[in-house]
Amino acid sequence: MKRTRLLNSELSYAISRVGHTASITVCDAGLPIPADVKRIDLAIERGYPSFVKTLDVILSEMMVEEIIVASEIHLKNPEVFQAMMDICQQHEMQPVVTEVPHEEFKRLTQDSEVIVRTGECTPYANVILKSGVVF
C-alpha cells in the first residue's frame, strides 16, 4: 500500500505521467470539461471533496512552477485564492501566478493532460497547474 497521501490510483498515475510544463486542471463541479480531455471525476456530493483539500493532496505529489486562475476569482471567491496561495507555500512552492479572464481559462483547459473535477460548488474554484521540476 502507498505511504503517500494520495490514494487515488488514477490521479496518482496521471501526475506521474505529467512532464515539465504540461498541465493538470483542478476544477469545481460546474466547470465545463472538454470532451477530448481525460476527466478524473472525484465529485461525490456538493462540496465533497473540496477544491482546497483536493489541491492540497495533489500538491503533496506534484511540483508546480505556474498556476493559472480566472481573474474573476479575486472578486467572487478571494478565500479560495488565498487558500491556494497558502497551500503552495505549505508545500514550499512559489509558482508564478497567471490570471486570465474566465472564458480564456476555459479555453486553456483544453491543453490539460487531465482535468480533476471536485465537488466544490463555489464560483471560480479552478486552477491550471503547470508542472515544474524537482531539481
Is 102 annotated to bind a ligand? Reply is yes
74 is catalytic: no
Q: Catalytic residue among 20, 90, 101, 103, which? A: 20
Is 77 annotated to bind a ligand? Reply is no
Full DSSP string of the chain: ---SS---HHHHHHHHH--TT-EEEEE-TTS---TTSEEEE---BTTBS-HHHHHHHHHTT--EEEEEEETTHHHH-HHHHHHHHHHHHHTT---EEEEE-HHHHHHHGGG-SEEEE----STT--EEEEE----
Is 14 annotated to bind a ligand? Reply is no
Is 13 annotated to bind a ligand? Reply is no
Nearest to 69 by CA among 85, 57, 54: 85
Residue ranges of the binding site for substrate: 28, 102, 124-126
Residue ranges of the binding site: 28, 102, 124-126
Q: Kindly list the catalytic residues.
A: 20
